[in-house]
Amino acid sequence: MMMNMWIMVFVMFLFGNLIFVGKHKHLLIVLMSLEFIVLSIFFSLLLYLMMIDYNLYMLMVFLVFSVCEGALGLSILVSMIRTHGNDYFQSFNLI
């Protein structure tokens, strides 16, 4: 049973990375794939900490950092949409 959970977490991580690499035209899709990767890392950390019978306070720290990362990504998305009108990377000029 535990091996099936590890395989599911690995598949989630793999699909998140494939979406991140393959669909990089829109900022929203990139941010959602990053959150999916963070969710799979959270599940793997949860499984590992439950397997070694350790306290789960580290999960709270990880969740705080992932929420901060999501809020930062959403603020960048909102500012990009307000300045450029869309979330395409090709309309965003870095120079």
In a domain, residue 92? The reply is no
- Please report whether residue 93 resides in a domain: no
Total count of domains within the chain = 1
Expressed as residue numbers, the domain containing 58 is 2-84
Q: Decide if 74 contacts 31 (C-beta within 8 A).
A: yes
As given in the structure block, the two tokens for residue 40 are 């799979």
More confident residue, 36 or 1: 36
Could you tell me if residue 31 is inside a domain? yes
Q: Average pLDDT, stretch 9-36? A: 89
pLDDT of amino acid 95: 53
CATH number at residue 23: 1.10.287
20 found inside a domain? yes
- Looking at residue 93, what is its pLDDT? 65
Residue 89 lies in a domain: no
If you average pLDDT over every residue of the chain, what do you get? 87
pLDDT per position as a tens digit, 31-80: 999 999 999 999 999 989 888 888 888 899 999 999 999 999 999 889 88
Whether the per-residue pLDDT at 94 is higher than 70: the answer is: no
